[in-house]
Amino acid sequence: MAFLLFEAVPAQRVARAKLRLSVSGQEGSDGGYWPFEVYAVPPRDPAALTWNDSPRHEGDWMGLVDASSLPDAEPRGSYELDVTGHVAKAAAAGSQVAFRVEGLPDRDWTLSLDGAEIAVFDEDPVPDLGPTAPAEAASAGAGLWLRYGEFSGQAEARKLAGVAYEPGGEVLQAAVDELRTYAGAEVPATRNPVPGGVLLGTPDNPAVQDALRQAGREREVRELGAEGYVLTRTADEVLLIASASEVGVLYGVFHLLRLLRLGTEASTLDIAEKPAVQHRLNHHWDNFPSTAARDGWGTIERGYAGHSPWQLDLPLSEVAARYREYGRLNASVGLNGAVLNNPNATTDWIEPQNLPRLAGIADSLRPYGIRLYLALRFDSPMALRELDTADPFDPRVRDWWRRTLDRVHQHIPDLGGVLVKGDSEGEPGPLRYGRTHADGANMFAEILRPHGGIVLWRAFVYGDALEDPDPDRSKQAYELFVPQDGKFAENVILQSKHGPWDFQPREPVTPLFGATPRTNTGIELALSKEYTGHTTHANYPIAEFERIFGFDTRAGGRRTTIADVVDGSAFGYTRTLAVAVHNPGTDRNWTRMPTDQANWYGFGRLAWSPRSSARECAAEWARLALGAEAAAAAEIADWLVDTDEVFRRYAQPLGIPFTSSEEYHFKNEPEAWEDSANGATPTGLGYDRTRAGSGYSALYPEPTAGRYERLASTPAELVLFLHHVRYDQVLPHTGETLAQSMYDSTFAGVEGVRGLIGRWERLEGRIDPDVCRVQRWMLRRQLSEAINYRNVLNRYVRTRSGIADKRGRDSALREPPVADVPDQQVRPGAPVTGARGTAPGRAYLLPADLARTGRWEREDRLLLAADGFRGTRAETGEHFDLRAPAEPGEYRLHVVNDQGFASEPSRGVVRVVG
Ligand code: GCW
């Protein structure tokens, strides 16, 4: 399934526009075509297009190109659409036009305009921050938490008397380099340790061996395994970092530097650590930059910080520094792998001509202990037109994959493994060939075993590809995979999202955890903010991850937390995994929103040790990345932890899932998922997953099953995920009706954002100023968007329930205000006559050229666009006094109601003459 956006075309150059769509419909390359549609999207800077621009959601001139004549299943052949009207409108606006096609599989179709093929422009474009975003929006906080020596308070600690080591491999070298980056290149490097210096290495180094023997810790180092380490101070006042392998030494170095930068006294150091989970990965949902090429930068599905960092056109030397930074960042928090590409995979990642380029990435990351993994398209042999089946039991198919993956290994000998999303969301999988998921996974497992590789088999499977799928999507993965427990090969890990549905801000932990004791099962979490506010909403999910890891599944009738399942201890899993969907991009600061860095940091620390505290991770990050002193760091940690709850209150009150728009998952559109996901009926909300409903609650062992079965014992944040509630029903959790509870939660959420802004502003002068400014700017955007979320949801509840907000806030639901003023010419400071607007709220005279920039739904956006606020402002009532601004020019009137909604600019213009 592809949502693709096409290259924008300068509209003026196209007189009569025919769009020709040809679909090969190659037999079997994708079994389930979805109905497809072609849209024309708005005429403005294509780089600024967002999913917001989907014609389903807004816009007046955009329209569905007449696709009524097109078939809605298994399309094949060529179709001609007349799009002259759309292009003419774009031309009249002096702009560009882009086309978007939805619903066709990747790479099976082409689109041309006036005979010329249009290249793929983009998929999931990065949200536009608008013209008034601070210039540093993409670079604030660059360097992330590895900003050595940038903050005065931490400078003192940077003294190391020397670095002692025996030359070794490239990982050890990276460890040594890191110490010298921290302490300065002038630090003497020696073979023998000096007091006050560091000695690092494996027991192969005689000095390390000696030190370990003297400390009586040789055995301990062996037992800690390849990634574990001992970090201690010897009797000779040497800081010893020892591990059985170089990568453990590297982790030890990062641990030491973290502690020194946090002000830990070197004399107190005595640490022995190893990671709880073996495979600690980022999963990038990146698309290959071949067809989607924009100078070699690929696009990202659900990425909000630029394009894919995997640059495959430029010489490696030009991007290697960036890759190294990626490697350092990950290694410093203990992550050891990266799945490079989108699970909705194309075959590009395994095609021979591309392998040398992928090898360049692997080579750059190897010194940091990062191994690459590739997501595979299950029917690749067919998609590449080399075989007519992808049946895993067909010897030709197995042979094809063996040859293909052997070739990958020639370029990337230490490939960590592969990932497959099968039979889900239109992706091909084994069920198409009458085989089970275990059959599909085990084929890859067998091929990878000699290479030491693993198979990450995604449990995110639902929908029509399943035989007789349960009407409640939440049950489908459980019902598919539990019967196959024990059938997966030893080097397969079943990779399950943390909840049964799909990365909602709150979901119950999936009952699959604990129900597959004989299948290595790992957890997939989301750092990418697909459902949690994209670029502009602060959201630190680590606190929720901490709760997830602490959730007691009661599997086997005893205390068995998710941490116990994931680290393998509960069931003796031989392979363990914690992976986060994580889509950092080409932005200099990788994440765009500065505080999203904390999410990356926190995930790394939790994957290493799932029993870590989210708050402590946050405080560490604030000190390391922002230069916060202890008090400010504690405030930031509390702030980060609160962001998640604030977001939930306005975006997912009482756990109502899927109030977002269907495709791009940002803006609120509760109608989009009625009953299929959120269980809406004319009289109430929520999906009944009790025994009387879908029976989902019964998938859990007791006492969870019983707790979820009853409304009163269901946690407030899961109420509507698990129960259908009438709008007029009083909830025990709030003592109010459902309708009133929704109003109260969403209003509290918006107030929560105001609170976050206030608290953030108190950090000014106490942390990195760029980060402070950029984050503050984004928080104001968040406020305007949160108001919108609140109003959309409340309007929905109000309309359906007929229940008024007993706290009298219905004005929030009013339509946007109107502004009106006659054309006139006035002197600066003189009264403006006849200004009118709907009340109550505020009125603004703002530069007239703002009117061209777009619709200003919300006050914050309006003011941001006013560029430092050139204009005047007044409180509005029926009548209000507004004076002409001091600066000569043309102005228009805007009115903003008391809920922050801004009117369109007035038609009349106030000309101020000096
Ligand atoms: O939530 C859905 C996303 C898709 C994603 C899918 C998945 C990669 O909307 O964009 O596809 O989950 O996890 O496979």
DSSP 377-425: -TTHHHHTTS-S---TTSHHHHHHHHHHHHHHHHH-TT--EEEE--SST
* H helix and E strand count, the chain: 23, 33
Question: Which of the two residues, 784 and 537, has the higher pLDDT score?
Answer: 537
Residue of 4, 476, 530 with the most ligand 1 atoms within 8 Å of its CB, for mutation = 530
Helix, strand and coil in the chain, % to nearest 5:
35, 20, 45
Q: Which amino acid is at 144?
A: L
502 lines ligand 1 (CB under 6 A): yes
Residue 139 has pLDDT above 50, yes or no: yes
Residue 228 has pLDDT above 90, yes or no: yes
Residue of 502, 579, 583, 665 with the most ligand 1 atoms within 8 Å of its CB, for mutation = 502
Which of 246, 379, 524, 530 is labelled catalytic? 530
Q: What's the gap in Å between 342 CA and the centre of ligand 1?
A: 9
The question of whether 236 is a catalytic residue gets the answer no
Rounded to whole angstroms, how far apart are CA atoms 331 and 416? 16
Question: Which of the two residues, 85 and 262, has the higher pLDDT score?
Answer: 262
CA-343 nearest atom, ligand 1 = 8
- Averaged pLDDT, 745-751: 95
524 lines ligand 1 (CB under 6 A): no
285 lines ligand 1 (CB under 6 A): yes
Which of 502, 709, 805, 857 is labelled catalytic? 502
243 lines ligand 1 (CB under 6 A): no
Q: Whose CA is nearest to atom 1 of ligand 1?
A: 502
Q: How much is the pLDDT for 471?
A: 94
**Mean pLDDT estimate for the chain:** 86
Q: What's the gap in Å between 577 CA and the centre of ligand 1?
A: 19
Q: How much is the pLDDT for 153?
A: 67
Residue 516 has pLDDT above 70, yes or no: yes
Rounded to whole angstroms, how far apart are CA atoms 688 and 679? 7
Q: What's the gap in Å between 198 CA and the centre of ligand 1?
A: 46
Three-state secondary-structure class, residue 842? strand
Q: How much is the pLDDT for 537?
A: 95
Q: Can you give the length of the chain in residues? A: 914
Q: How much is the pLDDT for 896?
A: 83
Residue of 299, 302, 376, 581 with the most ligand 1 atoms within 8 Å of its CB, for mutation = 302
The question of whether 27 is a catalytic residue gets the answer no
CA 280 vs. chain centroid, Å, equals: 17
| 279-286/337-341 β-pairing | parallel
**Residues in CB range of 353: below 8 A, 6 or more apart:** none
301 lines ligand 1 (CB under 6 A): yes
Question: pLDDT tens-digit profile of 346-362?
Answer: 888 999 999 999 999 99
Rounded to whole angstroms, how far apart are CA atoms 500 and 849? 49
The question of whether 425 is a catalytic residue gets the answer yes
Q: How far is CA 631 from CA 261, 628, 639, 776, in A?
A: 16, 8, 12, 19
Question: pLDDT tens-digit profile of 780-814?
Answer: 888 877 887 888 899 899 989 999 999 988 766 65
Q: How much is the pLDDT for 89?
A: 59
Question: pLDDT tens-digit profile of 47-102?
Answer: 333 333 333 323 322 333 334 444 444 556 666 666 666 566 555 554 445 555 55
Q: What's the gap in Å between 582 CA and the centre of ligand 1?
A: 12
**Residues in CB range of 360: below 8 A, 6 or more apart:** 316, 320
Cα torsion 257, 260, 264, 266: sign: positive
Cα torsion 307, 310, 314, 316: sign: positive
302 lines ligand 1 (CB under 6 A): yes
